[in-house]
């Protein structure tokens, strides 16, 4: 891809001090970059600074291949956690599903409308049920039945398939299996899950039943990065809806499906537009 079509994107977090925005802006300016968007945040305690800045590479004096090396001395001076990406580079997404189709339907519909600058070369499932939906969108569908006896082997084959297709991010669109720590370690901060609850409430299985039994007045959905600890990864996006004592568990599930598909869709958009900065157990999402 030609340099004059590229938009560089820097996500950075470091200890706060005076002049950070000026220093970073000057790094871009003095090399011929034109800043297109800049958003910054300082934690309430004033100790942590975070920034997202995008700039046009058309007249930039440093090539994309050399940009990381050029910025490294400044990042080291700031003691920064950082990453530079290019918005025009399409991420390659693998979607994992089981039998529920609503989240998959939402992502594939939005993708067909051009809302995501991503490629989806494959869908993986532990059941064959959603193969017709994948075929309708001309996406290869791979079935890996999972049991206690074959889980390790099946995950190894799944990972090999992901490597073969150079997958950047894995989306769990109501994939009803817990990934092993070994699998999660292959894609740190690049596996996105949708949990049908407003975390940290009702972790684990059957959260709508748990919510109904507790008599809650709102239910929610949470999209988060997957870590080795179940349903505790950094949260990307959440939403809620009002319910009442008249709602049954089935009513909660029906209302929850709308939340799940929209929350996961927004989380995928934030992630693929490089708007999410992970800071320990939480995220900063630049919108």
Is residue 103 located within the same domain as residue 82?
no
Domain end (from 27, 53, 86): 86
**35, 55: one domain:** yes
Q: 77 and 102: one domain? A: no
Mark whether 262 and 239 lie in a shared domain. Answer: yes
Query: Which segments of the chain have a pLDDT < 50?
Result: 1
Max CA distance (Å), the chain:
64
Question: Which strand ranges, in their side-by-side order, compose the sheet holding 91-97?
Answer: 141-143, 118-125, 91-97, 169-172, 191-195, 218-225, 235-242
23 and 132 belong to one structural domain: no
Domain boundary pick from 53, 86, 119: 86
Q: Does residue 75 share a domain with residue 99?
A: no
Q: Which domain holds residue 7?
A: 3-86
Residue 4 annotated in active site: no
pLDDT reported for residue 53? 98
Q: Which residue among the candidates 56, 168, 231, 247 is catalytic per the annotation?
A: 231
Write down which residue in 69, 86, 103 finishes a domain: 86
Residue pair 95/173 in contact (Cβ under 8 Å)? The answer is yes
Residues 78 and 28 both lie in one domain: yes
* Structural domains in the chain (count): 2
Do strands 48-56 and 7-15 pair parallel, antiparallel, or not at all (unpaired)? Answer: antiparallel
For the chain, what is the mean pLDDT? 92
| Residue whose token pair is 């994309």 | 64
């Amino acid at each position: 891809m030609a340099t004059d079509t590229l938009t560089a994107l820097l996500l950075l977090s470091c200890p706060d001090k005076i002049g950070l925005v000026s220093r970073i802006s000057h790094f871009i300016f003095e090399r011929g970059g034109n800043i297109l968007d800049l958003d910054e945040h300082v934690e309430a305690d004033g100790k942590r600074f975070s920034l997202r800045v995008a700039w046009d590479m058309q007249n930039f004096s440093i090539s994309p291949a050399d940009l990381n090396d050029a910025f490294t001395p400044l990042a080291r001076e700031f003691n920064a956690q950082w990453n530079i990406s290019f918005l025009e580079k399409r991420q390659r997404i693998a979607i994992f599903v089981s039998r529920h189709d609503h989240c998959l339907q939402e992502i594939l519909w939005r993708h067909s409308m051009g809302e995501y600058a991503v490629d989806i070369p494959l869908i993986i499932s532990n059941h064959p049920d959603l193969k017709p939906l994948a075929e309708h969108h001309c996406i290869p569908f791979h079935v890996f039945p999972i049991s206690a006896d074959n889980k390790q082997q099946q995950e190894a084959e799944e990972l090999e398939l992901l490597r073969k297709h150079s997958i950047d991010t894995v989306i769990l669109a109501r994939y009803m299996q817990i990934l092993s720590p070994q699998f999660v370690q292959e894609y740190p901060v690049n596996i996105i899950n949708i949990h049908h609850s407003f975390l940290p409430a009702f972790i684990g299985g059957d959260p709508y039943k748990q919510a109904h039994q507790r008599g809650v007045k709102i239910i929610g959905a949470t999209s988060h990065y997957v870590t080795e600890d179940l349903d505790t990864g950094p949260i990307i996006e959440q939403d809620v809806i009002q319910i009442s004592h008249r709602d049954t568990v089935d009513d909660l599930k029906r209302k929850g499906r709308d939340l799940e598909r929209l929350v996961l869709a927004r989380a995928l958009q934030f992630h693929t537009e490089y708007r999410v900065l992970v800071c320990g157990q939480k995220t900063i999402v630049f919108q």
